[in-house]
Amino acid sequence: MNSEQWLQQRTFHHSNFWDIKWLVEEKERQGLTISLCLPALNEEKTIGQEIVILKAELFDRYRLLDEIAVVDSGSSDHTCEIAAAFGADVYVASEHLQEEGDHRGKGENLWKALYLLKGDIIVYVDADIRNIHPRFVYGLVGPLIQHPEVHYVKAFYDRPIAHSGLLRPTGGGRVTEILIRPLFSLFYPELAAILQPLSGEYAGRRSILEQIPFPVGYGVETSMLIDIYQKLGLSAFAQTDLDRRVHRNQETIALGRMAFGVLRTFMSRLSREQKVQFHETLPSIMRQYEVGDGGYRQLQYEIEEFERNPIIEVPAYREKFHPEGQIE
């Protein structure tokens, strides 16, 4: 399957999976369990609404989800209290797998969620979505239930719509269109067909997620795509149009730091696969500048992009999920 064929056959719209009752029946027929992870840090303004809407439709009315959990990075607001009050399981990442140490970052929460949650399928949904809707979950798990050969599903938003004979861009985001898609086009051309590689919503089978490393910072979404692609190829992916996502936008200067972290993760993959060779270790300092009081000041940010090894290598995880030592 080339990228054009994949784009036609593995790009869905959430309305393809509107029949939640059928999804539940098929999930049960296949013997699957599905867990929702909401990675969070100071999201008290939106976390309650997300849990209420998703729990009411996908846990209480239809049991598409077997558990709903917030994995928190150490919020200083009321995120954890609100999440617990509305019925989610709440985990503070630093309190679990302590023997493996602790790192701050979204990727850390996603990695530890594999240990904390029980599902055969893990759905990750960001906790800052203002227009949350059940489609953010059923649109992602639908391809996994309907197509056993699919192992990982990415969300995208702002579907192309014909208007006056023109197509509206897919809205891939500034870092995607300026950095990631050019890099994919150069080094992993097939992955350029993934419309929003940095989207924060995706679902995957535990059987593949447990086998890949997780950068704890900005690079986690990019690394997932490259590492799963290297193991399973493009045919293991699908993507679903979720129409529209409303969340807080970051300033360009913050996106610069994100791009730096993503680029370091990307370069580590190129080096590992011997696509490029670096004679020195890449620096971890991002330099930015601000102007004030008639002068210029350099700002330095340490962006290390530490990576967690595949969680299948963690003894506590193997004991919990593979007690007989059998790994598919």
* Digit-coded pLDDT (tens) for 57-94: 999 999 999 999 999 999 999 999 999 999 999 999 99
Neighbours of 8 (CB within 10 A): 9
- Predicted confidence at residue 73, as pLDDT, reads 95
- Predicted confidence at residue 157, as pLDDT, reads 86
- Predicted confidence at residue 295, as pLDDT, reads 87
Is the separation of the CB atoms in 236 and 150 below 8 Å? yes
Tokens 């008290």, located at residue: 44
Longest dimension (CA), the chain: 69
- Predicted confidence at residue 328, as pLDDT, reads 52
Decide: helix, strand or coil at residue 113: helix
* pLDDT, mean of residues 252-274: 92
Residue 227: both structure tokens together: 């590492």
Q: How does DSSP assign 244-286, residue by residue? A: ----PPPPHHHHHHHHHHHHHHHHHHHHHTTSS--SSPPP-EE
Distance from first CA to last CA of the chain, Å, rounded?
25
Q: How confident is the model at residue 326 (pLDDT cuts 50, 70, 90)?
A: low
Neighbours of 124 (CB within 10 A): 25
C-alpha to C-alpha distance for 321 and 205, rounded to whole angstroms: 14
Going from the N-terminus, what domains does the chain have, and what CATH number goes with each? 7-321 (3.90.550.10)
The rounded mean pLDDT for the chain is: 92
* pLDDT, mean of residues 190-196: 95
Bridge partners (DSSP) listed for residue 269: none
Q: Is the pLDDT of residue 257 over 70?
A: yes
Q: Is the pLDDT of residue 163 over 50?
A: no
Q: How does DSSP assign 28-40, residue by residue? A: HHHT--EEEEEEE
Q: Does residue 268 or residue 244 have the better pLDDT?
A: 268
